[in-house]
Amino acid sequence: MRTLCVLLGGTALVLSGFAQQDSPASAAANQAKAQLQAELRSLATLAQKLANAPTNEEKARAWLALNRQAKKFGEEMNSAFPGTSIKGDKISPAEAQKLAQTATSYGIRVDFCEPGGNWAADNQGYFKYLELWPLGPEADEATWMGPVGSASFCGDSEGSAEELKEFIAQRKQFLQEFPNSRFAAQAKQDIAEAQAQLEQALKSGR
């Protein structure tokens, strides 16, 4: 009996150890989920602001703010649901899919990108900004995130020569339009890296 008690006590300690090891990750996930609820409220507020915006300029600003917040929400989804999986049109856990659908209802699509294995927001708000206010003060950000594709929802590029050429051309065009943009340094870095990849792709005949 004494031996059995010792064994049971040892098992309890091991299980307790596992619980202690799991608790920090669980606490982080719970904190992330609480943050998601706060960000959903922010999305709702921004969507209402967009609906009430009286001018194109104010609508453009609202779309930009909404897309920024949706992007933040998508990033937070990865912290809250790191083990997300997808089968057909069903995403697991279902809680994550429901939250993403709620976020999407406010105007910017948030979904799980199967090729990348991550949650992300789409970039239609940036396109809306340019449509409503093409020469607005945040046109460089809207162009970088929208037409240039830096905030595209889900990419499945194979790194072919044609894709790399298009990638480089987009960023060169961006630098011509916005040479002093805060995204200019990143554009130059992207071009240099893509040109190196293009050289390799051409050598390998891709």
Residues 34, 118: one domain?
Answer: yes
β partners of residue 113: 118
pTM above 0.85?
no
> Tens of pLDDT along 123-142?
999 999 999 999 999 999 99
Q: Are residues 35 and 129 in the same domain?
A: yes
Asked whether the predicted pLDDT for residue 85 surpasses 50, the reply is yes
Q: Which domain holds residue 186?
A: 157-206
Residue 95 pLDDT greater than 90, yes or no: yes
Q: Give the number of domains in the chain.
A: 2
Residue 95 lies in a domain: yes
pLDDT higher for 7 or 69? 69
The pLDDT of residue 18 is above 50: no
33 and 129 in a single domain? The answer is yes
H/E stretch holding 98 reads helix 94-104
Mean pLDDT along residues 31-58: 96
CB proximity list for 100: less than 8 A, separation 6 or greater: 77, 91, 110, 111, 112, 119
**93 upstream amide cis, omega within 30 of 0:** yes
CB atoms within 10 A of CB 167: 21
**Does residue 8 sit within a domain?**
no
Supply the DSSP symbol for 110.
Answer: E
Name the residue among 102, 113, 189, 196 with its Cα closest to residue 151. Answer: 113
